[in-house]
Amino acid sequence: MAKRTEAGLPVLRMRPVPKGRTLEIDALEEVRSLLGEAPRRRDLLIEHLHRIQDHYGHLSDRHLLALAREMGLTAAEIYEVATFYHHFDVVKDGADPSARLTIRVCDSIACEMAGAAGLLDTLRERLGEGVRVMAAPCIGRCDSAPAVFVGNQVVEEATVESVEGFVADEKTAAWAPDFRRLDAYREVGGYSAFRQCASGELAVDAVIDTVRESGLKGMGGAGFPAARKWGFVRTEPKPRALVVNTDEGEPGTFKDRSILEDDPHQMLEGALIAAWAVEADTIFIYVRDEYLGCLSALGAAIDELHGDPPADLPEIVLRRGAGAYICGEETALIESLEGKRGEPRLRPPFPAQSGVFGMPTLVHNVETLYWVPEILEKGAEWFAGTGKDGHPGQRFFSVSGRVEKPGVYLAPNGVTVRELIDHYAGGMLDGHEFYAYLPGGASGGVLPASKGDIPLDFGGELAELGCFVGSGAIVVLSDADRARDAALNVMRFFAHESCGKCTPCRVGTAKSVTLMERDEWDGALLHELGEAMEDASICGLGQAAPNVVRRAMEHFPEEFDV
Amino acid sequence: MIQLTIDGRPVSVAEGSTVLEACDAAGVHVPTLCDSPDLVPYGACRFCIVKIEGARGLPTSCTTPAAEGMEVTTDDAEIRQVRTMTAQLLLADHPQDCLTCSSNGSCGLQDITAELGITERILRPMERDARRDESNPTFTFDHSKCILCGICVRTCREVQGLGAIDLVRRGYDTAVQPFGEVPIRESVCESCGECVERCPTGALAPRGFLPPEREVSSVCPYCGTGCLITLGTRGDRIVSARGDRSSPVAQGRLCVKGRFGAFEFVNHPDRLTSPLIREGEGFREAGWDEALSLVARKLDGARGDAFGGLASAKVTNEDNYVFQKFTRAVMGTNNVDHCARLCHSSTVAGLARSFGSGAMTNTVGDLGEADAILVTGSNTTESHPIIGLEIRKAVERGTKLLVFDPRRISLTRRAAVWGRQLSGTDVVWINGLMHVILRDGLHDQAFIDERTEGFEALREAVAAYSPERVEEIAGIPAADIERAARIYGEAERAAIVYSMGITQHTTGVDAVRSLANLAMLTGNIGRRGTGVNPLRGQNNVQGACDLGALPNVFPGYQQVADDEARAKFEAAWGVELPADPGLTVTEMVWAALEGNIRALYIMGENPMVSDPDTTHVEEALRKVDFLVVQDLFLTETARLADVVLPATSYAERDGCYTNTERLVQLTEPVIGPVGSARRDWEILCEVSTRLGYEMEYESTEAISDEIRSLTPSYAGISYDRLRAGENLHWPCPDETHPGTPILHSEQFARGKGAFHPVEYRAPDETAGGDYPLTLTTGRVLAHFHSLSMTGRSSGLLGLEPECFVEISESDAAGLKVEDGEYVQVSTRRGAVEAKARVGSRVPGGTIFMPFHYGDQPANRLTNPAVDPDAKIPEYKVCGARIEKISEERIAAPRG
């Protein structure tokens, strides 16, 4: 007999449940001891989640609930952030916690071309209990593809055997790079430019003029003139901030990693000068979680700097990402710095007006800052003169794919892909013929070998073909590859990395993947979908996502003849 | 103002407007699914894209600020193509069950599809992990229909200040979920339904609603906040409810009771449709004439002090006026009272003596202007949810919150200081705060000198209440008393909010006067954002008091013992009136037991559930010669009656309600009377006339006019003004007066504010011996009073189907009681079985039970000892014990 009320009304058979979850005192104690004296500020949420994840190998409901109490946030606020970032493993209480060891096999374009798919399958078969094998988006090791993370240890040019060896030897810790130390950097005149700035020997206007005349542009991909950005920020009220974008996630790009692992001080000096120029009190350095080597080098370099400061230093805050390509987008990065989901902000306001914690914020890529001290030392003309005719300046190109020697190469702006292949990267791999290339990572489109003599720089002929050089990530395809496969690979990457906020990108990337997985592509539909994504997505991710697809259909019609 | 053109039409909008708002102002429709006027622009759905001359791409109009000279194009082939593709993306994975979807006809996605002329889907659906969450009995959550516009998430955070749900995961896997992705009912969701109301698709859908044919607003029948509900009807049935954005207090917000539980009972099959006359153990249906004649005949023999009347905090001002007039003028006694006795009589008595008026001094909206708010004895977010929202919002804006409550109520999470006093020690910690304030010179000497009297006696009295002594007696750490005193004392504007945790004690008047002392000591009275604010628990409890449903006063708190006042009413009513104050509710019970009261007339109250020590109440009600009950349902009390008269519900009548902040609101009928139910005042007039006192009113408004002629504080509150939309707080002495949102601003109602030194007295019954636990009682969010209305809402009953007892983890461990297990709670007066809810809400040594459930009545257990002054019973403290009971004993279903 159904339970009835005094009025004879049937009561919905619903279990009375306590509202919300009960906090466990034990969990609270565990979280407290992990956090120690660290402040409980909202912006440290991701840092605190890392502490729990690092210690327990996963995030359980009970710890998240305790963290919410400890930080004075709602449980849902913690949960939305924890589930956003791929390096956090949120595990329900009572469920089997995640494996003691996670192996991430990079499946982005260069690694896929080097056989990542087979490697992933075999590792999944062979590594069993306690080891979780998963695909991961670009980990910035395209020069040693296929690359694999065993825990925090990178395995370059990985094979099943080498990965198994690392697992067996329990070599899972991050590696600390041997970078150019402060002494060595000072010996070649390091930090003298910053000292001159700080002491007043160099005037702000003069420094900005020099940077302007050098033609230095944003190396993160947008190519916006650096000096103009400084000018914008300087017109905004104080306090101001500088953010160093070290979230180099664009597939095919690994130059910032190379810079920081070798020479963090030159970037730091550039950051100090930029902060001085815009009178920023704080420098935030946001490092992607895949770049633990950079994090370690930067941490050590900052310690060295504090031990022997060349002048008064602004506050320098080093922050660790948690596995989200979208945080390379400057406003998503700022959100992440504030401890939130990495969803891009709506513009206006622009970061220069209102950025991190509402402060007018200068956001720069690592390489952009890296060049600043050298430009001040050697002069604007020197830097401008390093480029080819009509293409002032030089930059680090990340070259990967079917070349003999993939790597980071310093080359003049305006260099062509053929020159990069032949003069820098040791030519094509044996038995491979140059077929196509991605001039700007996953976002910059794809071109056939016949367009291999176009100067690589912002704007110009490249732009006329619907492509861009972006962060200078050149992925070389050979006759063993197809442009459409590359397009599918990058679309899968974007679908995986879409933050999910706006409809065109969230659904558009996912639908594009399903359309492209068919043998026969519906070209008209993909174009139309691509246009909507380009026009209506909030940020660059969704806007650029259809680029390779559409260029593949334009420039490689023969691949689609059935 | 900014001038711009939309599709060639010039328009001017205020600085800070968005382009979308400008489009709206220009009368140009721009489609959108994620915009909601009072939420922060989100820009996620991308439908509202436009072209702006000179700007790159297709910016979203909802996020782009309007600028001078802008030329905006809202529609062309390119824009249309992008919108169409965006719609196709959403349609691809959206279920195609529009005909059976509850949002059919009111779905944003459906509208946009039609607007764009889309006739077929061009993208194939993909598999999505999109389950239907059926856990909540008030609404369903179908994730497959969710378009991730984020309105629900933002509403929960921005409007409700709760944040129960969020967007989790990312990309195509993004979903709206509570913490841990548990079924929504197991989350901290308060089921307010604001997100349900705003959801543009059928993802969040109310249960049991139908699209209405017409809509009429009324005042919510539950707590005293006075939110307006827009009720939708089909024929003579109410089929939907939503917030009314014109509501002065709520601005359209509603709680779970108002939105999901305020209409099902109206058309419930249990409604009484004709009068009932007792026949042996049962009743027979009777015509009105027979029933009224019987009532008149029986009452005729019990005139004078042998009669007692209980008016109602749930009926209109006009009904209550007529009820007390009937009692006084026709029955010739002042034995009239109502359930305010049981909730705030200590407020009425205490504040009247301190300030000269026993009502909330400020308005609800005022709370937002306080720098500090002290909440004590009020589980505001459950008992007055919309006021709870105001407090939450204030805290978000920087107001410091002080909470003094033995239970870990949800506001404690936001409190700067949470003092967890031992039940019944309120005077101690309040004196402690004043001790620190005086010691540290945080008091307002100028205010004390100019506006008050009796300060020296207070100073002496609180001198003995050092923080250390407070810690010793009340159990609140001395440091917290220090901190709280500084926050309250240093605030430019500090407000006190309290409710029954303060009043329902044998020391209720003392505690109320202590709070009044605290406010006067710091000059926190008579200004915005300050005051002493008792939250009234029923939608017209303030009005029932105001209109004289009390044994000692006529309408407008004019003393019955006052010759002049009595002469005025005698002249108006044409009879001689008794001068001696009558009996209170609690006294009437005793008088009935002693045989001194022989006839009782109960209008819309259910003392069998709401009064303390209900075993005694039952005895008393059985003992009287004649009991008339006028109600919607055959309540526990009505079952004992000799005659039961069916009355109209709030939705079937017109008249005024006075909310907790003294705001008078006029309502009109939403539907016609159910069955042969009649308005309360009409029934009373009929009985009067049959008793030889001709009472006849043309309309409810005519009663209001009589009220205004006799009640100075209501004199200016005419129906005409109310119909014109004026928001009038009493006192409002004439028709040009704007009303008085803040009391005591120039001087106190009694002239000077009176300090009253108060010493701590222990509760009547404390834990110990055979009853080692302290039992305290109260409300839960989903229910109201004796369940006669909320118990007939399947949604609310589904949320809280049965009684429970909160018990601390330590006590549960000691008693080996598991969460969810049935236990027996006993006191010196009786025993009740209830499910144990083990957790950290109550401190060790204390248990809590809601009092709503007639079949598991917590008030069988409570102590009927009363405050010597206000006669309010001590519901909040008594000794109790808990015992485990075997499964077999509870196996048989109740009812």
Q: Given an 8 Å threshold on Cβ–Cβ distance, is A528 in contact with B85?
A: yes
- Could you tell me which residues are beta bridge partners of residue B532? B496
Question: For B797, which of A12, A341, A536 is closest by C-beta distance?
Answer: A12
Six-digit token pair at A98? 């995640």
Task: Show which of residues 772-811 on chain B sit within 8 Å of chain A, judged by CB atoms.
Answer: 787, 791-792, 794, 797-802, 804
Whether A524 has its CB under 8 Å from any CB of chain B: the answer is no
**From residue A151, how far is each of A174, A257, B710 by CA, in Å?**
8, 19, 83
Q: Which residues of B touch A538 (CB under 8 A)?
A: 43-44, 46
Q: Return the half-sphere exposure (C-beta side, CA atoms, 13 A cut-off) of residue B604.
A: 29
Contact between B540 and B320 under an 8 Å Cβ cutoff? The reply is: yes
Residue A10 pLDDT: 39
Please give the ipTM for the structure prediction: 0.93
Nearest to B124 among A22, A506, A514 (CB): A514
Q: How confident is the model at residue B895 (pLDDT cuts 50, 70, 90)?
A: very low
Contacts of B61 (CB under 8 A, 6+ apart): B18, B19, B20, B22, B23, B30, B48, B49, B50, B72, B74
B35 Cβ contact partners less than 8 Å away, ≥ 6 residues apart? B20, B41, B42, B45, B48, B62
Mean pLDDT of chain B: 95
Q: Does B187 lie at the interface with A, CB-CB under 8 angstroms? A: yes
CB contact under 8 A, A83 and B170: yes
What is the crossing angle of helices B426-439 and B478-490, to 10°?
60
> Which residue of chain B has the CA closest to A59?
B180
Helix (H) or strand (E) holding A90: strand A90-91
d(CA B839, CA B843) in angstroms, rounded, equals 9
Q: Do residues B509 and B351 make contact, with C-beta atoms less than 8 angstroms apart?
A: no
Which among B65, B85, B123 has CB closest to A348?
A: B65
Residue A427's pLDDT is 97
Which of B45, B63, B180 is opposite residue A21, by nearest beta carbon? B180
What are the DSSP calls for B550-578, one per residue? SSSEEGGGEETT-HHHHHHHHHHHTS---
Note if the bond before A349 is cis, omega within 30 degrees.
yes
- Per-residue pLDDT of B357-409, as tens digits, reads 989 999 999 999 999 999 999 999 999 999 999 999 999 999 999 999 999 99
Angstrom distance (rounded) from CA A529 to CA B85: 6
Which residue does chain A place closest to B806, by CA atoms?
A18
- Contact: B179, A531; criterion CB under 8 Å: no
| Residue B891 Cα distances to A2, B242, B799, B822, B883, angstroms | 12, 40, 21, 10, 17
Q: Report d(CA A143, CA A165) in Å as an integer.
A: 21
* Per-residue tokens: B589: 């019970």
Task: Mutation target for A interface from B60, B88, B116, B179: give the one with most A CBs within 10 A.
Answer: B179
Inspect the interface and report whether the beta carbons of B895 and A509 lie closer than 8 Å.
Answer: no
Q: In chain B, which residues have their Cβ closer than 8 Å to the Cβ of A5?
A: 787, 791-792, 797, 895
What is the least distance, in Å, from the CA of B732 to any CA of chain A? 43
What DSSP element (H or E) covers B545? helix B541-546
Whole-angstrom distance, CA of residue A91 vs CA of residue A98: 7
Cα atoms in the Cβ-side hemisphere of radius 13 Å centred on A412: 17
Cβ contact B198:B37 at 8 Å: no
Closest-approach residue (CA) in chain A for B416 = A72
In a 10 Å sphere around its CB, with 0-12 CB exposed, 13-18 middle and 19+ buried, how is residue B361 labelled? buried
State which H helix or E strand residue A242 sits in. Answer: strand A240-246
How far, in Å, CA of B848 to CA of B407, rounded?
9
A4 contacts B188? CB cut-off 8 A: no
Is there a contact between B188 and A503 if contact means CB atoms under 8 Å apart? Answer: no
Nearest CA in chain A to B164: A76
Q: Which residues in chain A have their CB less than 8 angstroms from residue B65's CB?
A: 348
Q: Residue A12 has what pLDDT?
A: 41
Nearest Cβ partner for A3 among B163, B190, B893 = B893
Chain A residues in contact with B86 by the CB 8 A cut-off are: 503-504, 532, 536
Residue whose tokens read 């506001």: B411
Residue A1 near chain B (CB below 8 Å): yes
Here the tokens at position A511 are 């639908």
Locate the chain B residue with the closest alpha carbon to A79: B179
Token digits for B554?
């006529």
List the pLDDT tens digit at each of the 562 positions of chain A. Answer: 334 444 343 344 344 445 567 778 899 999 999 999 999 999 999 999 999 999 998 999 999 999 998 998 999 999 999 999 999 999 877 666 767 889 999 999 999 999 999 999 999 999 877 889 999 999 999 999 999 999 999 999 999 999 999 999 989 888 899 999 999 999 999 999 999 999 999 999 999 999 999 999 999 999 999 999 999 999 999 999 999 999 999 999 999 999 999 999 999 999 999 999 999 999 999 999 999 999 999 999 999 999 999 999 999 999 999 999 999 999 999 999 999 999 999 988 999 999 999 999 999 999 999 999 999 999 999 999 999 999 999 999 999 999 999 999 999 999 999 999 999 999 999 999 999 999 999 999 999 999 999 999 999 999 999 999 999 999 999 999 999 999 999 999 999 999 999 999 999 999 999 999 999 999 999 999 999 999 999 999 999 999 999 999 999 999 987 5
Q: If DSSP states are collapsed to H, E and C, what string results for B592-661?
A: HHCCCCCEEEEECCCHHHHCCCHHHHHHHHHHCCEEEEEECCCCCCHHHCCEEEEECCHHHCCEEEECCC
Task: Indicate the residue of B78, B170, B895 with minimum beta-carbon distance to A499.
Answer: B170
Cis upstream peptide for B178 (omega within 30°): no
Confirm or reject contact between A531 and chain B (CB < 8 A).
yes
Rounded to whole angstroms, how far apart are CA atoms B214 and B231?
A: 8
In B301-443, where does DSSP find H-type helix? 317-325, 340-343, 345-354, 380-383, 385-396, 426-439
Q: Does B854 touch chain A (CB under 8 A)?
A: yes
| B166·A80 Cβ contact <8 A | yes
- Rg for chain A (alpha carbons), in Å? 25
Overall size of chain B counted in residues: 895
**Segments in A72-155 forming alpha helices (H):** 75-82, 109-113, 116-126
Instruction: Specify the pLDDT at position B128.
Output: 72
User: Considering only residues 17 to 76 of chain A, which have any Cβ-Cβ distance to chain B shorter than 8 Å?
Assistant: 17-23, 61, 64-65, 68, 72, 74-76
Tell me the C-alpha distance between B141 and B143, whole Å. 6
Which residue from A11, A14, A15, A16 is spatially nearest to B894, judged by alpha carbons? A11
- Spatial contact of A512 and A305, defined as CB atoms under 8 Å apart: no
CB contact under 8 A, A9 and B792: yes
End-to-end, the C-alpha distance of chain A in Å comes to 67
Partners of residue A134 on adjacent β-strands: A104
CB contact under 8 A, B174 and A538: no
Q: Fill in the DSSP letter of residue B156.
A: I
Q: Do A500 and B174 touch (CB under 8 A)?
A: yes
| Integer Cα distance of A395 and B589 in angstroms | 92
| The three-state (H, E, C) secondary structure of B77-128, written as one string | HHHHHHHHHHHHHHHHCCCCCHHHCCCCCCCHHHHHHHHCCCCCCCCCCCCC
Beta-carbon contacts of residue B852 (< 8 Å; ≥ 6 apart): B609, B779, B780, B783, B784, B785, B786, B787, B790, B791, B803
Mutual angle of helices B700-710 and B317-325, in 10-degree steps: 70
Q: For residues B141 and B103, give the distance between their C-alpha atoms in angstroms, rounded to a whole number.
A: 12
Q: What is the pLDDT of residue B127?
A: 73
Average of per-residue pLDDT across B320-324: 98
Q: How many interchain CB pairs under 8 A, A with B? A: 220
Q: Which helix (H) or strand (E) holds B337?
A: strand B336-337
pLDDT value at residue A92: 79
Cα angle B417, B419, B424; round to 5: 155
Q: Do A529 and B85 touch (CB under 8 A)?
A: yes
Q: What is the per-residue DSSP string for A28-41?
A: HHHHHHHHTT----
pLDDT at residue B826 is higher than 90:
yes
Q: Count how many Cα atoms sit within 13 Å of the Cα of residue B174 in the half-sphere of its side chain.
A: 30
The distance of B410 to chain A (nearest Cα, Å) reads 11
Q: What is the pLDDT of residues B433-451, one digit of tens each?
A: 999 999 999 999 999 999 9
Contacts of A496 in chain B (CB under 8 A): 171
